[in-house]
Structure 1
């Protein structure tokens, strides 16, 4: 983390909006808030990087931004398992 201490609530709120951020669905002010948080919070930046990698992989492998439902379910299950093991 940076010089300022970030709250779990702030991290939770940031990570809840990661997909909107990745899909450029946020207004400039909200995007700036997320960029600022990610720059100051290494754990959130690492989670963001994972989400970006998954989105990039799905886009490359599936020819678009939307994964087939079965693939999305499988990936989400693996992410859930990994989070449980790490958390």
Structure 2
């Protein structure tokens, strides 16, 4: 998506990060860039508003439910299993390759 106007931050980039912004998971500099774009770009602000309403609705309808402790325990165990099996190789060009033990 693009509104056709020039911005420091591209519309598609802003919309791909809107949930990070909503969840307060971006650093202060990125937050300011996204906020500036939203202040300048009506189509992105509208989309942001839809996502904000969706987040509020999800929190209202799903906020009180918690995963069963057994499920959490099994997920943690599986994550540890997979990460213990993985081998991380860092090459000179800083590419990361993850291999699982077969």
Distance 2:41 2:6 in 1: 7
Higher relative contact order (Cα pairs below 8 Å, separated by 6+ residues): 1
Distance 1:28 1:21 in 2: 10
Q: Is residue 49 of structure 2 the alignment partner of residue 49 of structure 1? A: yes
Matched residue count: 59
Distance 1:54 1:21 in 2: 14
Distance 2:37 2:63 in 1: 31
Q: Is residue 31 of structure 2 the alignment partner of residue 31 of structure 1? A: yes
Alignment of 1:54-73 (within 5 A): 54-63=54-63
Distance 2:42 2:50 in 1: 12
Shift, 1:6, TM fit: 2.5
Higher helix share: 1
Unaligned runs of 5+ in 2: 65-102
Higher strand share: 2
Equivalent residue of 1:43, what SS? helix
Normalising to structure 1: TM-score of the pair? 0.64
Normalising to structure 2: TM-score of the pair? 0.54
Distance 1:38 1:63 in 2: 27
Runs of 4 or more consecutive aligned structure 1 residues displaced over 4 Å after TM superposition = none
Distance 1:6 1:13 in 2: 13
Unaligned runs of 5+ in 1: 65-87
